[in-house]
DNA sequence: ACGCCCGCCTGTAAGC
DNA sequence: TGCTTACAGGCGGGCG
């Protein structure tokens, strides 16, 4: 059914990319489908921004991968619904269908971007002037939801195209009190709020359901109706569910769509409590998992365990 | 102003 | 059996 890369899948890719491509120099870039680089005026423009550059480090903001280049530019990768990033040792290996971009390194090997549904994209971002020459004195930058100065905050300033994203739940830790304030400020149903990238970045349909089950809260509870205990449960559930999924290298569902950098499946789908488990017994109370449509999306939950 | 819903896409699977 | 149709969903934009 679904194999959408969310924060845990993208973080797994980031960790592997960090080891595999940091320090590598880009020899050539081939674009087979211009739609994947649609933010650029042309594929040639995209290529020219990358060729000859080397990759310094790899970070992540929500579901976006950030490959930092040696000239302060950033190659941004978003996998959309069906994107895959694959590290291949030699160029002779057969290219999968829908291979839209191939980045070849000078020391051999290549990075392939595969995306059947083409909802994903790649683009090169240039930091704004204010970031290029940071004032030595002051860290007076503020973020939309104020998540402190974690790696997410740095990335947000460096990549203006991603300035709309909310805090990153793994990179930008915050106090429960701060989280409670944000929940009251952004009044909405809990599932809609968790999936709102401008509130918190990186959570999609699968992990929002898993987080809400872990928190014992229904998808339609209003965010300003939580008690102090419930607020803490939600924050803990969010951080711990995502961290646990990262440990298991993400979820590869029935469609096998998500694959890591080496083409391997994730391992967390077996730990899912509710997602894609309609009619199956709740692992906690044995009552059947219910599926409803909320905000146009499939929503799974336990009527007994979530209130 | 804000929330909902469409359009973008292809692969898969249910339905006739 | 084979074709058609529905569905899956991240995200941006438009409409109510």
pLDDT in tens, A148-189: 456 666 677 789 999 999 999 999 989 999 999 999 988 899
User: Which of A53, A63, A191, A218 is labelled catalytic?
Assistant: A63
pLDDT at A292 over 90: no
Confidence label for A95 from pLDDT (cuts 50, 70 and 90): confident
- Chain C nucleotides close to protein (CB under 7 A) are 7-12
Give the whole-angstrom CA distance, residue A287 versus residue A292: 16
So what's the pLDDT on residue A139?
A: 35
Token pair of A122 as six digits: 């790649």
State the CB neighbour count (10 A cutoff) for residue A60: 25
Catalytic-residue membership of A110 = no
Q: Which of A5-14, A252-261, A295-304 has the highest mean pLDDT?
A: A5-14
Task: Read off the pTM.
Answer: 0.92
Catalytic-residue membership of A5 = yes
Q: Which residues pair with A57 in a beta bridge?
A: A68
Domain covering A176-301 in this structure, CATH number: 1.10.8.50
User: Which of A39, A283, A291, A297 is labelled catalytic?
Assistant: A297
Token pair of A143 as six digits: 């973020």
Catalytic-residue membership of A178 = no
| CA atom of A2 to C1′ atom of B11, Å | 11
Instruction: Give whole-number Cα distances, A42 to A68, A115, A126, A267, in Å.
Output: 21, 19, 16, 38
Name the CATH code of domain A7-126 (choices 3.30.70.20, 3.40.50.300, 3.20.190.10, 3.40.50.850). 3.20.190.10
- Chain B nucleotides close to protein (CB under 7 A) are 3-6, 8-13
Give the whole-angstrom CA distance, residue A217 versus residue A226: 9
pLDDT at A51 over 80: yes
Question: Of all nucleotides in the shown strands, which has a C1' nearest the CA of A198?
Answer: C11
Give the whole-angstrom CA distance, residue A163 versus residue A178: 20
User: Where do the structural domains in chain A lie, given as residue ranges?
Assistant: 7-126, 176-301
């Amino acid at each position: 059914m679904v194999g959408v890369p969310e924060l845990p899948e993208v973080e797994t890719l980031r960790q592997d990319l960090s080891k595999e491509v940091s320090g590598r120099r880009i020899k050539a870039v081939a674009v087979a489908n211009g739609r994947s680089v649609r933010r650029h005026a042309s594929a040639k423009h995209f290529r020219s921004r990358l060729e000859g550059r080397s990759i310094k480090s790899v970070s992540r903001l929500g579901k976006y991968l950030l490959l930092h280049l040696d000239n302060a530019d950033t190659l941004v990768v978003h996998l959309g619904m069906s994107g895959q990033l694959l590290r291949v040792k030699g160029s002779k290996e057969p290219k999968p269908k829908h291979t839209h971009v191939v980045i070849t390194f000078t020391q051999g090997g290549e990075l392939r971007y595969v995306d059947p549904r083409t909802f994903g994209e790649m683009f090169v971002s240039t930091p704004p002037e204010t970031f290029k020459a940071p004032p030595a004195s002051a860290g007076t930058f503020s973020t939309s939801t104020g998540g402190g100065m974690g790696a997410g905050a740095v990335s947000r300033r460096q990549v203006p195209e991603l300035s709309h994203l909310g805090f990153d739940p793994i990179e930008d830790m915050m106090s429960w009190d701060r989280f409670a304030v944000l929940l009251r400020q952004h009044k909405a149903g809990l599932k809609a709020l968790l999936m709102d990238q401008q509130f918190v970045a990186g959570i999609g349909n699968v992990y929002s359901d898993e987080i809400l089950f872990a928190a014992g809260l229904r998808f339609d509870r209003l965010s300003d109706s939580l008690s102090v205990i419930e607020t803490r449960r939600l924050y803990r559930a969010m951080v711990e569910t995502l961290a646990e999924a990262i440990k298991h290298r993400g979820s590869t569902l029935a469609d096998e769509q998500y694959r890591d950098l080496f083409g391997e499946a994730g391992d967390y789908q077996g730990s899912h409590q509710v997602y894609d488990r309609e009619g199956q017994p709740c692992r906690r109370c044995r009552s059947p998992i219910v599926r409803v449509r909320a905000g146009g999306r499939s929503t799974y939950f336990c009527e007994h365990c979530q209130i």
